[in-house]
Amino acid sequence: MRWRFMGMVMVITALVLLVQTVPLAQYLRAVETDRLITGLERDAFVLAGRAEEALEALEPAEVAGIAAIAQEYRASGGGRVVITDIDGTAVVTSDDDQSAVGGDYSTRPEIAQALAGTIATGSRFSTTLDEQLVYVAVPVISGQDIVGAVRLTYPAAVVDEEVAERLSVIGIVALLTLLMAGIAGVIFSGTVTRPLRVLTAASERLAGGDLDARADTGRGAPELMQLSSTFNRMADRLSALIDEQRAFAADASHQLRTPLTALRLKLERAHDLLESDPSGAAERLVAAERETDRLVTIVEGLLALGRAGAPTVRPAPTDLGAVARTRVEQWEALAAESGVEVRVEGAPSAGVLAIPTAVEQIIDNLLDNALAVSAEGTVVRVLVTGGERPSVSIIDEGPGMSDEELARAFDRFWRGSTTTPGTGLGLAIVAELARASGAEATLRRGDPRGLVATVEFAGTHLDP
């Protein structure tokens, strides 16, 4: 009976895990596809910005430079790049032999859509490459004119590989779950039936898309409670990953779509006023330039945030005091234009552990925020402290923040008010860089006013 019960428990658990894996794989595939297309859109806009001058002049040297960038992007693991002129003729491709240069791409639906001024995304089968491709095509805009298009394609098989990699981790957890269920069935055959039904129900709910489904860890044998805890940790991790990807993809898509829509409207209005009201058209072109700058800033912020979140580099010893003095020297001229004094105080040297360039980026982002809210005649202080937990604090004399604003300040794309300049990524980048360096970023109100932004690092000895 005991062995039969153990076999039954293991069979039921295996079936439940199989049932939840199929819809989970489909969901992960959709998420990975959205993430890939978002990344390709971001890269396509960056390449379009770099290709603008080359497509305007079509000088061999400039075209060769863009071709080198396209090949470097492809070699680094990016998608296949095709850049066409306004006629749909390929000017640059990422192929090493450049065999497609000069080819007519105007018949490709995505290229035609991009040349018409619309972003094209989706997937299609390539008869040339004999594989399914995910593509993104964006227009290259110079002023109010479309001068070409950038298309990035990526093998859809990459999505399958990402899903398989994630499912392999879930598979390992599933095997552990199966083993623990068998042990519980042998030892506690008389008391495990009811808790196991609860666990099975939770697994089925999770397989059906209920990411809040959790197992009861307070009942049953110790092995079964451990199994339930393992299941809950798996569900928590899976839910957190999916929520994070959803939120980031939605926020990034929204933040990029807004300036693009505004830019297009301003350009269309400027075109309508070009003959009847040249001065009004000029004003809208200036506004369009500002919107373009904002779009570039958002894209650069997203790239920086992505790099900050990649745990591929280990923290290394850095002199916090030396970096702070260097960054203050770089910001002094800009601060002086606004009538604001920037000065560094505290320890001349402090050894900290941080990933490369993290300290520089943290200080730059905090100084940028402080100067944006500082009035003429005020002082922004950069305070460096030593000890076992060295820190750097940027102290301004601006309006400060409320408790609610302090609680949300590190959220991505959050800004204190609609009139606050910036993209809402600066403090998010600071928090991510601090986390990657094993540091902690905090904000508090100054006395009597202003804001104190502090990042506390792990201390280390600096070699002479």
**% of the chain surpassing 90 pLDDT:** 12
* DSSP 8-class letter at 155: E
| pLDDT tens for each residue of 44-80 | 888 888 888 878 877 888 888 888 888 888 888 777 8
Picking from 168, 166, 340, 143, the residue whose alpha carbon sits closest to that of residue 242 is 166
What letter represents residue 36's amino acid?
A: L
According to the model, what pLDDT value does residue 436 have? 82
* DSSP 8-class letter at 353: E
| pLDDT tens for each residue of 415-429 | 555 445 555 566 887
By mean pLDDT, which of 69-78, 237-246, 273-282, 329-338 is the weakest? Answer: 237-246
Neighbours of 283 (CB within 10 A): 15
Picking from 292, 437, 283, 415, the residue whose alpha carbon sits closest to that of residue 357 is 437
Measure the CA–CA gap between 71 and 86, rounded to whole angstroms: 22
Query: Cα 139 vs. chain centroid, distance in angstroms?
Result: 23
What letter represents residue 127's amino acid?
A: T
| pLDDT tens for each residue of 141-166 | 888 889 899 998 888 777 677 767 76
Task: Considering only CA atoms, give the Rg of the chain.
Answer: 28
The residue written with tokens 């609610």 in the block is: 404
**What are the helix and strand counts (H, E) for the chain?**
11, 12
Residues with Cβ within 8 Å of 66's Cβ and at least 6 positions away in sequence, in order, are: 47, 50, 51, 54, 83, 91, 92
According to the model, what pLDDT value does residue 1 have? 41
Neighbours of 440 (CB within 10 A): 15
For residues 12, 14, 16, 18, the Cα torsion angle rounded to the nearest 10 degrees is -150
Measure the CA–CA gap between 48 and 345, rounded to whole angstroms: 43
The two tokens of residue 418 are 């609609």
According to the model, what pLDDT value does residue 20 have? 67
Sheet of 341-346: strand order equals 341-346, 379-385, 391-395, 451-456, 440-445
Q: Which has the higher per-residue pLDDT, 272 or 4?
A: 272
Question: For residues 126 and 155, is the Cβ–Cβ distance under 8 A?
Answer: no
112-131 b/e with 16+ CB inside 10 Å = b? bbbbeeebbbeeeeeeeeee
The residue written with tokens 């506004």 in the block is: 287
Give whichever of 211-215, 246-250, 439-443 has the largest mean pLDDT: 439-443
* DSSP 8-class letter at 449: S
Measure the CA–CA gap between 49 and 66, rounded to whole angstroms: 11
Give whichever of 72-81, 299-308, 442-451 has the largest mean pLDDT: 442-451
Measure the CA–CA gap between 443 and 452, rounded to whole angstroms: 6
Domains of the chain: 1-162 (3.30.450.20), 232-307 (1.10.287.130), 313-457 (3.30.565.10)
Identify each DSSP E strand in 265-398 by its residue range: 316-319, 341-346, 351-354, 379-385, 391-395
Residue 386 has pLDDT above 50, yes or no: yes
Measure the CA–CA gap between 427 and 431, rounded to whole angstroms: 6
Sign (positive or negative) of CA dihedral 284, 286, 290, 296 = positive
Question: For residues 155 and 130, is the Cβ–Cβ distance under 8 A?
Answer: no
